[in-house]
């Protein structure tokens, strides 16, 4: 067999799922063959449900929200500094107008002293209308979508802002790249495909309008590609629409590996059995947090997760002989991972529990059980849930060698 490592065309992709608690924030960077620095960067969403922010382990004193913002700014700064063109964000994608997907954008992207963008932002894609983005006492997103020049410093680059979806799917994001290269596609399958959505509640319409993206790696020696599906808050109806749209020319099915970012934070409204059987994912990435909606129930519950999604997915994996994915430990002191969920099977009040998932293919950003106060971080609350960031490399192994058939999953 020919050794394809570091061959001329290898183009690895790095996908970082940041811990934000109940919300979403994903950074995607694309690398040229053998290059140590990325040449393109995409930020998909950046938000967290107010009151449900989850700080990383061992962070400094302060509120969970402030520690989370500090963490995101530092990590995103580090990634964008390590580009061929440092500080350039090629695309900002705002999947839909739910605040837990956009309400941290101003804190992360802007200089608090000037109110101007801290990075060179080239393009913005968003769904629905600017007026649908309710920001409480802020106007950042509305300004970004309607008057982006107001957020750019003197002589800076004014981003191109586009309402999506447009006609024709899938839509390639980086149009200058050959079709054989790794790329990002808007695949959608939103409310536009469902005439019966009118009259339903506003939040459901927003979820149905979620922008759904597909990361596609380069072909390996067998002509197969790795893929990652990023579902935002897409619902089962979106999944059914995608299956229909994809049936004539399948691009969403698993070839080499398929990594699924589960829709709507692991709730009962998404990641249906039909979708799991169609995509046959190797692993589930879930962004969730300990928020109680209406003071009672959470998104990720025992019923939603264990008794439905996890059971369905493990049944599909067994039927297709899909092995557990391998995980590279980023820091030796962290020897396990898991997820937090609300145990809604007993009597009220229901409590959050921690499910250890070490060795299994469920990767949640709410990955740390509550810890006692940290002596190195005076003031950190006792019993606070903590989060971890997950990094998925498509086309690069744990030794840093490029190979389209390889992957690396790590966390910190």
Q: How far is CA 134 from the centre of its chain?
A: 21
Coil, helix or strand at residue 143: helix
| Of 250, 266, 220, residue with least CA distance to 394 | 220
At residue 274, the pLDDT reads 97
Q: How far apart are CA 159 and CA 311, in angstroms?
A: 44
Measured in degrees and rounded to the nearest 5, phi and psi for residue 249 equal -145, 80
Q: Give 106's Cβ-side CA count (13 Å radius).
A: 19
| Centroid of chain to Cα 281 | 15
Tokens of 215: 């990361």
CB < 8 Å & 24+ apart, contacts of 170-178 = 170/214, 170/251, 173/42, 173/91, 173/213, 174/30, 174/40, 174/90
Tokens of 60: 């400094």
**What confidence score (pLDDT) does residue 8 get?**
46
pLDDT per residue as tens, the chain (412 positions)? 233 333 445 689 999 999 998 899 999 999 987 788 999 999 999 999 998 888 887 666 778 899 899 999 999 999 999 999 999 999 999 999 999 999 999 999 999 999 999 999 999 999 999 999 999 888 999 999 999 999 998 888 999 999 998 666 789 999 877 666 889 999 987 655 444 555 556 678 889 999 999 999 999 989 999 999 999 999 999 999 999 989 888 999 999 999 999 999 989 999 999 999 999 999 999 998 888 888 788 888 999 888 899 999 999 999 999 999 999 865 544 557 888 888 988 887 888 888 888 888 999 988 766 766 666 655 555 677 888 899 999 999 988 889 999 999 998 8
335 CB burial (10 A radius; 0-12, 13-18, 19+): exposed
Rounded CA separation 192/195 (Å): 7
Task: Give 121's strand partners.
Answer: 89
Residues in contact with 160: Cβ distance below 8 Å, sequence separation at least 6, in sequence order: 122, 123, 124
Q: Collapse the DSSP code of 40 into the 3-class scheme (helix H, G, I; strand E, B; otherwise coil) and give the result.
A: strand
How many other C-beta atoms can be found within 10 angstroms of the C-beta atom of residue 350?
A: 17
Q: Are strands 390-396 and 402-411 parallel, antiparallel or unpaired?
A: antiparallel
Q: How far is CA 308 from CA 22, 111, 262, 271, in A?
A: 20, 43, 13, 9
**For the chain, what is the largest distance between any 2 Cα atoms, rounded to a whole number of angstroms?**
61
Of residues 339, 332, 338, the one with CA closest to residue 358: 338
- Check residue 9 and give its pLDDT: 53
Closest by CA to 16, choosing from 384, 391, 318, 314, is 391
Q: What is the 3-state secondary structure (H, E, C) of 46-91?
A: EEECCCCCCCECCCCCCCHHHHHHHHHHHHHHHHHHCECCCCEEEE
Structure-token match 């570091």, residue found? 6
**Contact present, 259 and 281 (Cβ < 8 Å):** yes
Tokens describing residue 113: 């002293």
CB 369 within 8 A of CB 338: yes
């Amino acid at each position: 067999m020919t050794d394809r490592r570091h061959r001329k065309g290898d183009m690895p992709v790095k996908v970082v799922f940041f811990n934000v608690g109940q919300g979403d924030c994903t950074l995607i960077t694309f690398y040229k063959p053998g290059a140590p620095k990325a040449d393109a960067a995409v930020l998909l969403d950046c938000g967290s449900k107010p009151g449900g922010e989850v700080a990383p382990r061992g962070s400094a004193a302060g509120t969970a929200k402030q520690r989370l913002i500090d963490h995101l700014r530092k990590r995103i700064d580090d990634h964008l500094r390590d580009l061929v063109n440092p500080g350039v964000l090629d695309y900002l994608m705002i999947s839909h107008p739910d605040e837990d997907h956009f309400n941290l954008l101003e804190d992360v992207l802007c200089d608090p002293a000037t109110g101007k963008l801290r990075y060179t932002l080239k393009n913005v894609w968003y769904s629905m209308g600017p007026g649908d983005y309710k920001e409480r006492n802020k106007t950042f997103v509305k300004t970004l979508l309607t008057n982006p020049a107001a957020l750019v410093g003197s002589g800076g680059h004014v981003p191109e802002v586009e309402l999506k979806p447009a006609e024709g799917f899938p839509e390639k994001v980086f149009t200058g790249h050959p079709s054989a290269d790794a790329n990002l596609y808007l695949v959608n399958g939103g409310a536009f495909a469902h005439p019966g959505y009118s009259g339903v509640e506003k939040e459901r319409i927003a979820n149905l309008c979620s922008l759904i993206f597909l990361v596609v790696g380069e072909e390996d020696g067998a002509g197969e590609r790795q893929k990652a599906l990023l579902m935002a808050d897409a619902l089962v109806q979106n999944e059914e629409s995608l299956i229909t749209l994809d049936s004539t020319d399948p691009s969403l099915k698993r070839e080499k590996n398929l990594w699924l970012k589960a829709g709507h934070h692991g709730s009962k409204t998404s990641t249906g059995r039909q979708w799991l059987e169609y995509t046959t994912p190797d692993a589930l990435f879930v962004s969730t947090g300990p928020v109680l909606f209406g003071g009672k129930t959470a998104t990720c519950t025992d019923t939603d997760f264990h008794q439905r999604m996890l059971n369905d997915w493990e049944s599909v994996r067994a039927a297709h002989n899909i092995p557990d994915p391998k995980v590279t430990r980023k820091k030796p002191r962290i020897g396990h991972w898991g997820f937090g969920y609300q145990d809604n099977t007993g009597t009220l009040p229901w409590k959050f529990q921690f499910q250890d998932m070490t060795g299994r293919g469920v990767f949640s950003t709410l990955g740390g059980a509550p810890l006692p106060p940290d002596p190195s971080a005076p003031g950190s609350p006792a019993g606070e849930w903590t989060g971890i960031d997950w990094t998925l490399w498509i086309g690069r192994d744990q030794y840093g060698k490029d190979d389209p058939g390889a992957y690396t999953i790590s966390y910190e």
